[in-house]
Chains A and B, each alone.
Chain A
């Protein structure tokens, strides 16, 4: 059973950079697409972007200018950096794995709440 675990600061100051890491266990990063998805409190799901194990990326156009998603296959981890954060970036951030073929998400992390506040 593949497991994903998000880690990173729970509090980020406005204008700074949000950094999160997802560690994948009981499975390999190879051959899959890996995503970050967020959910503001009381609201719906928003796809942030994905990275393929080869390193190719695709980002949500509305966030593209502020996002970097990277991969470390040696550690079975992938990461998110979101810069110039505001209170609107406060959300539960999930990491997730897309199925082979990439049509649906078959594994989710438990999610981590990141609050943007001074």
Chain B
């Protein structure tokens, strides 16, 4: 079965750039989306279809997808960005990555 692999944790200093990766076989041939989840809340879409930013999501969030890896990039990370992030793609069914805890130190 298809799997998406994310690092369990990423740390970044305020104002710096955070990159969260999502790896899967030929992932670049599939649309990948990214969700942010804060404690006790449902996930929120931050990037759709590899690189589209929904209305209301800050410009500091961006995405890319090529080869076997999709990447969520947060430029100028703020304390409010501390959360869990999940990538998601479709194979024959919807697949979520295991999630990455972003810590803003």
Contact = CB atoms under 8 A, between A and B. Distances in A.
B96 A104 contact: no
Interface in A17-66: 35, 37, 44-47, 50, 58-61
A7 to B, nearest CB: 15
B1 A44 contact: no
Interface residues of B, number: 21
Contacts, number: 53
Which of the listed residues A45, A104, A108 has the most CB atoms from chain B within 10 Å of its own CB? Answer: A104
Chain A, interface size category, equals: 20 to 34
Contacts of B1: 61
Contact of A44 (B44, B93, B96): B96
Nearest to A110: B42
A4 B94 CA distance: 20
A74 interface: no
A26 B67 CA distance: 40
Contacts of B96: 37, 44-47
Interface in B61-105: 86, 88, 90, 93-99
Interface of A: 35, 37, 44-47, 50, 58-61, 94, 99, 102-106, 108-111
Which 5 A-B residue pairs are closest in the complex by CB-CB distance? A104-B33, A108-B42, A47-B94, A104-B48, A45-B96
21 contacts: A35-B94, A44-B97, A44-B98, A45-B35, A45-B86, A45-B88, A46-B96, A47-B96, A58-B93, A60-B93, A61-B1, A61-B93, A94-B42, A102-B90, A103-B90, A104-B48, A104-B88, A105-B33, A108-B42, A108-B44, A109-B42
